[in-house]
Amino acid sequence: MLQDLRAWLNGSREWNAGVSLYNQVGDNDALKSLFSKGKTDYCYQRLQEELLKICKQLKTQKYVHITGTVRSDKPDASVKPIDKVEVERHQPVNDHPAANAELYVVCKAEADKTYKEVMNLRAELFALARPDNFSDVNTPDRIEQRSKIALKVAEGFKHVSQLYDRADYVKIHGRLPDQDAPDGEELDPDGLPDHLVKQTLDNLRKNYNKMKKRQQTPERVALLQTHESNIKKLEARWLLLKPAK
């Protein structure tokens, strides 16, 4: 396998061949799922970095096995390095400033939290499958117990992938993918009749203050930002309509 990795890294680095290699030697299910969706600049760059890292690890393990000593982490002269210009050109989405930092942070935090929960469930699954000297881990009831957890883990990783995709979407576009009309709240501050401006403004302020006190989910943060924008527009209109003292 080390030979195959070197051949790929020193060759044309064809996408499908690289994905096939990573599916054999990689241990990150989230990355495997990401690569299966197709080639992008970010995915291709990440694939090269991961295979290069695995190649270095395998070479170090081989050296330790033969010599019994641990070598220092020096560049692998047998492998062509990734072009530094390409690395700068194709940085991951997360290395660029967010278009909507506040909303992105909340989305990323939700994805990170869910990922940790799934990893804890995965650790529980592995613990249940660990053999010992006192009991049989492959009895029908234990197999059934593990199968239920395994399904939850698989569904969890799929959900985590969707949450990270949503966070990356927010970072690029500054809004949730389905944020055109969040929670059905549709308001046209510019088209509102003059006699409804003050009442609508007061209602928006009340709703905004109530929502600020609740837990900040991505959907709620998006709605708060919509309220903030509408409140500013209505405040500007009210200043023009407000009777002079």
Q: Is the pLDDT of residue 114 over 90?
A: yes
The answer to whether the predicted template modeling score (pTM) of the entire model surpasses 0.75 is no
Give residue 63's pLDDT: 41
Residues with Cβ within 8 Å of 144's Cβ and at least 6 positions away in sequence, in order, are: none
Type of residue at 220: R
Short-list 81, 89, 15, CA closest to 53: 81
Mean pLDDT of the chain: 77
Kindly write down the DSSP assignment for every residue of 130-177, as one continuous string. Answer: ---SSS-TTSHHHHHHHHHHHHHHHHHHHHHHHHHHHHHHHHHHSS-T
pLDDT digits (tens, 9 = 90+) for 167-219: 888 887 787 876 654 444 467 777 778 878 888 888 888 888 888 787 778 88
